[in-house]
């Protein structure tokens, strides 16, 4: 089960309808193309001045041949977008021009109240590309029954059985928290000075075609984390979207990279049972940090950095003990444990004495 978005040209549709018809001689026969000599005149499907004068042979042919032999090919030989385990119920399309380039925005509504926002464009070589830029929670839990675009109000109107919502087409600041996602939406652009996403105007950052690697690196907040030797630490990498897996599939992959220093080349961080754990929310857990893990860790979606962390290990405050230090620490711990056992025994004795006194007082009454 799934859904796909495809486009078709009128020329391709007319080409199929002017092609061969398909027929089935009997209920057990295969469907085969009809010979041109068997097609009556005027050809079914062509325009005539008066349909009342059509001969019975044409009407009977139309009734018995509802199928064409060829299928209508969709544009560019592939769907614009497809998604498994999702049922699209409605779709609307908007066209916009940004810096001289035409973009087509598809808003596909689903049976669970989500709206998928897909952008399509052609590059300089004429190749078509598409990208899922957002998934909007419109009427969560209810199928979307109607969806319309108002060019006048620059809004998307969405209706379910019990809800009607108006969503701004240029909803940028409240929608995209990171530069990486903001610059891929043709309605929006990233403001370097104020470090926020805004409705696009000339001067704001954009990279809809995803051709400028590292364009958002200067906007990323590099968080410095000081950790003790042997400590385990979690580095989050959250993507705010109702369908994170599809966002990663279309814009990703999402990977962690480690850099020993700013000048060194990084390498991908793979899961390792006793050292690195990739969490379900795409974060990274580093177990038992040592001097070897000192450096920078970047979470990247495709070629764009989402989060960056620099880990500094404080080896002086808590370094690995040698054998004599270990024995002393172990001895101190054992001594403390003996004190704890002695205190626990004394408390139990007092508790038992109190219980005996309570029972005696109860008997006297």
Q: DSSP letter string over 18-56? A: TS-EEE-SSTTSPPEEPPGGGS-SSPTTS--S-GGG--H
CA angle 174, 307, 108 (to 5 degrees): 45
Q: How confident is the model at residue 173 (pLDDT cuts 50, 70, 90)?
A: confident
Comma-separated ranges of CATH 2.60.40.10 domains in the chain:
220-314
Peptide bond into 108 cis (omega under 30): no
* CA distance linking residue 64 with residue 265, whole number of Å: 69
Task: Give the pairing of strands 304-314 and 222-228.
Answer: parallel
Q: Does pLDDT of 273 surpass 80?
A: yes
- For the record, the structure tokens of 110 come out as 């689903």
> What is residue 159's predicted lDDT score, i.e. its pLDDT?
95
The confidence score (pLDDT) of residue 168 equals 92
Q: Which fold has domain 220-314?
A: Immunoglobulin-like (2.60.40)
Tell whether the model's pLDDT for residue 102 goes beyond 60.
yes
DSSP assignment letter at 332: H
- Kindly report the pTM of this predicted structure: 0.70
Q: How confident is the model at residue 362 (pLDDT cuts 50, 70, 90)?
A: low
pLDDT tens digits, residue range 280-301? 888 999 998 888 899 999 998 8
Question: How many separate helices (H) and strands (E) can be counted in the chain?
Answer: 5, 22
- Is the dihedral angle over the CA atoms 168, 170, 173, 179 positive or is it negative? positive
pLDDT band at 206 (very low <50, low <70, confident <90, very high): very high
In terms of average pLDDT, the best of 12-26, 84-98, 238-252, 258-272 is 84-98
Q: Encode pLDDT of 56-94 as tens digits.
A: 888 888 888 888 888 888 888 889 999 888 899 999 999
pLDDT range class, residue 198, cuts 50, 70, 90? very high
Is 333 or 256 the better-scoring residue by pLDDT? 256
**Which are the contacts of 320, defined by CB distance < 8 A and separation ≥ 6?**
229, 230
């Amino acid at each position: 089960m799934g859904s796909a978005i495809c486009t078709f040209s009128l020329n391709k549709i007319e080409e199929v309808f002017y092609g061969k018809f398909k027929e089935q001689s009997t209920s057990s026969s295969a469907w085969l193309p009809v010979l041109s000599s068997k097609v009556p005149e005027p050809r079914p499907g062509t325009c005539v001045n008066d349909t009342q004068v059509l001969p019975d042979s044409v009407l009977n042919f139309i009734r018995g041949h509802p199928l064409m032999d060829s299928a209508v090919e969709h544009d560019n030989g592939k769907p614009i977008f497809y998604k498994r385990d999702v049922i699209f119920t409605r779709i609307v399309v908007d066209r916009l021009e940004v810096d001289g380039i035409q973009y087509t925005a598809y808003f596909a509504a689903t049976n669970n109240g989500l709206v998928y926002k897909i952008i399509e464009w052609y590059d300089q070589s004429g190749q078509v590309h598409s990208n899922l830029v957002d998934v909007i929670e419109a009427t969560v839990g209810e199928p979307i029954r109607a969806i319309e675009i108002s060019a006048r109000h620059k809004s998307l109107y969405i209706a379910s059985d019990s809800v009607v919502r108006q969503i701004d087409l240029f909803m940028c600041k409240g929608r995209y928290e990171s530069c990486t996602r903001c610059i891929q939406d043709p309605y929006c652009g990233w403001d370097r000075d104020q470090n926020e996403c805004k409705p696009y105007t000339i001067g704001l950052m954009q990279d809809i075609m995803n051709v400028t690697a590292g364009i958002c690196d200067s906007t990323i907040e590099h968080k410095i984390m000081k950790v003790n030797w042997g400590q385990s630490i979690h580095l989050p990498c959250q993507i705010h979207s109702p369908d994170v897996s599809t966002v990663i599939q279309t814009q990703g992959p999402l990977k962690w990279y480690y850099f020993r220093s700013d000048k060194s080349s990084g390498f991908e961080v793979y899961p390792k049972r006793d050292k690195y754990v990739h969490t379900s929310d795409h974060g990274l857990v580093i177990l038992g940090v040592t001097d070897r893990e000192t450096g920078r860790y970047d979470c990247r979606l495709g070629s764009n950095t989402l989060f960056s962390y620099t880990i500094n290990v404080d080896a002086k405050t808590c370094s690995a003990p040698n054998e004599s230090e270990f024995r002393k620490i172990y001895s101190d711990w054992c001594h403390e444990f003996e004190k704890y056992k002695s205190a626990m025994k004394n408390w139990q004795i007092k508790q038992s004495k109190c219980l005996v006194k309570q029972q005696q007082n109860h008997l006297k009454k």
